[in-house]
Amino acid sequence: MLSSGAVSDHYLDLRKTTTHPAGAFLAARFLAHEAQRLGATHVGGPTLGADPIVGATVALSHESTWPLRGYLVRSAAKDHGTGRQVEGQIEAGARVIILDDVVTSAGSLLKAVDAVRSLEAEIVGAWCLVDRAAGGRESLARAGLDLTAVFHIDEVLAEAVTHLPALHGFRPRTPLVTVDGILELVPGHVLLVRRRHEPLGWALPGGFVEPGETLEQALRREIEEETGLRVERAVQMHAYSGPERDPRFE
């Protein structure tokens, strides 16, 4: 049974991920990237799902060029103390992202949206780690918000098939191909294209960023030229390799 009241044959406990050092760090990197893309100054969402992600992202942003403030939204206003429903430093006119770890029907997220909008803050986008594709995206759209999800439920289940025998035989609704691109952070040069799924392997680029292209556009073009695969989504997180780390020579 899910919080939305729906019954599902799989349950995602993402708090095991977002309270793990590596999981919290990666979630924060993704969210910080989205916040900078949207020009957001605050990140937050309904407690408990958003709590560890918000904390990690705010802490990570302290040493970046795009510092962020966090906020948390209770399911209802407190009946004691200050009586606040939204905790944190959030003021009228603030540009905020509203988030949760998982979005199903988006019921709890929409309640948080109402609470944040009552403070006259501007919600510039909705974000989650996993979209369960159960109507939440559409509900948020009706509230005027686009949902950005790091993963679709089909991607999670397709990956789980290789680790959980009980899921063998599962088939996602849409074909799933993941391509990782690694960029050398030197303007105008693409370092490596890495393929995680068939055809496996590495392609040495010799590709350069064409005039007028962004690094992301060049990455997409290089991957498609080298692999014949279409890039559905590209996210640049950070540099973790260099020219001397060409895996073909290790």
Domains of the chain as residue ranges with CATH:
15-167 (3.40.50.2020), 179-249 (no CATH)
Q: What is the pLDDT of residue 76?
A: 87
Pair 14, 129: CB distance under 8 Å: yes
CB atoms within 10 A of CB 56: 23
Per-residue pLDDT in tens (0 to 9) along the chain, 250 residues: 455 555 566 778 899 999 998 889 989 999 999 999 999 999 999 999 999 999 999 999 999 899 999 999 998 887 666 668 999 989 999 999 999 999 999 999 999 999 999 999 999 999 999 999 999 999 999 999 999 998 888 877 766 655 554 444 545 444 444 444 444 444 444 444 444 444 444 444 455 667 777 767 777 777 677 666 676 666 554 443 434 444 433 3
CA distance 213 to 201: 26
pLDDT (0 to 100) of residue 222: 72
Number of CB atoms found within 10 A of residue 18's CB: 23
Alpha-carbon distance of 98 to 44, in angstroms, equals: 5
pLDDT at residue number 127: 97
Taking the alpha carbons of 186, 234, 139, 52 in that order, is the dihedral positive or negative?
negative
